Amino acid sequence: MQKIIAANWKMYKSRQEARKTAVDLRGMLAAEDLPGKRVVIFPSFTNIPDVLDVFAATPCVAVGAQNFYPASEGAYTGEISLAMLGDMGVSQVLAGHSERRHLLGETDEFVARKTSFALNQGFSVMLCIGETLAEREAGDLVRILSRQTGSALADLPEDCLARLSVAYEPVWAIGTGKVAGPAEVLEAHAAVRSRVVRILGDAGRNVPILYGGSVKPDNAVTLLELDNVDGLLVGGASLNAESFMQIVRA
């Protein structure tokens, strides 16, 4: 299975900064032979056109959007539609990132609507799931991951599944400098794989499962060597081209 290394730039970078980071990364990628790797960049909305322009001739790099609203159009002030994103050339989106769940109040049901809507519109979706520290300490890891995964993947058409990936991101490890240990990652990814296969059947064995949560160059190799870790979703360490490139090389 191809390894996916994804960069989530969140609410960082001016257009000039985003373009420079993208240009630096493009130059590094051009000098490397990285078979079996696919890079996805999720910039802020205002930076998408510049980043798309930089990577227009780089087939191993896709540019995605961090958010969207699950409607074709309408009176949804401040939101952005898939049609608008597609018009720019975007074909990949995030859904259910923990910051949107826990800071902005997106529910499992709303994330499920977004996931289904985007897949049915022909977009690739990276579905984010994960538990809080309190949930893990209460022994609720498997229940939380099963609930979030089950809600989002119920009743998906089979022809959508090749465009689906899942990113496990323990909420307590995002931006904190903490990272789940190998045993914790193995446990979580095994639970996610089991749930995905239970919902989707054998097709679920081919759905990539990424790990996200304080990923850095010094832990990327260890993470990618673990069973059921098919890639990495990188936050802070992706903001610098050299740091992110070290993770891509892992």
Structure tokens at 99: 């910051």
The distance from CA 84 to its chain's CA centroid, rounded to whole angstroms, is: 20
Rounded to an integer, what is the distance from CA 245 to the centroid of its chain? Answer: 17
At residue 31, φ and ψ (nearest 5 deg) are -90, 0
What's the distance, Cα to Cα, between the start and end of the chain in Å? 15
b/e string for 43-73 if b means 16 or more Cβ within 10 A? bbeebbbbbbebbeeeebbbbbbbbbbbeee
Catalytic residues: 97, 169
Tokens standing for residue 217: 């160059």
Residue for token digits 């990652």?
185
